[in-house]
Amino acid sequence: MFKDSYEYILESIEKSLNSIDVSLVNHGVDMITEAKQIFVYGSGRSGLVGKFFAMRLVQLGLVAYFIGETITPVVNKGDLVVLISNTGRTQSTLLVESIVKRVGAKVIAITSSAKSPLAKHADLTFVIRYEKEKGELAPLGTLFEDAAVVFLDSIISSLMNKLGQTEEDMRRRHAIWV
């Protein structure tokens, strides 16, 4: 069962990410590097995915926060907010989107639903498509969440290149310098 599961998950991630338009990725990289501050939000496991990404952004030397943490400042015009929701209908995520759009921030949405309210109001949407899950091999939102982690981690190399950052530069900004 274990081997069947990881093979299914890896195959699904590859199919999902192969469907993403690379020119959109380049546009997303530009939005990230042009933002004054970057904020990330997701609920549940999508939130964990977001925290992974926010940490890497900080390690790149960017000003990044996860919305909902006690030390997160207010979002302003000129900022970018990355919102992650499998369905694109998670109420807390839609509330965040509504608030940040009202203050003039840009929004990047990461969702599996191109027709969702989240996607509809975002400035840029990445749709992570996946086939109906085999619940016994990848329960609940596993395929979306895993594909989102790999997608966001894959963007990091483009950001490193654009910002002229090396792994050594990032290591110096690691919470526990190694």
Q: How many domains does the chain have?
A: 1
Closest CA to 126 of 144, 134, 114, 140: 114
CA distance 47 to 45: 5
> What are the pLDDT digits (tens) for 65-99?
999 999 999 999 999 999 999 999 999 999 999 99
Indicate which CATH number applies to the domain containing 37: 3.40.50.10490
Task: Count CB-CB contacts under 10 A for residue 55.
Answer: 16
Strands 80-84 and 38-42: parallel
Helix axes 142-163, 22-34, angle to 10 degrees: 60
Which residue range forms the structural domain that includes residue 25? 2-69+76-165
Residue 177 located in a structural domain:
no
* Active-site pick, 7, 34, 131, 145: 145
Q: pTM, whole model, 2 decimals?
A: 0.94
Q: What is the mean pLDDT of residues 53-67?
A: 98
- Residue 170 counted as domain residue: no
- 145 given a catalytic annotation: yes
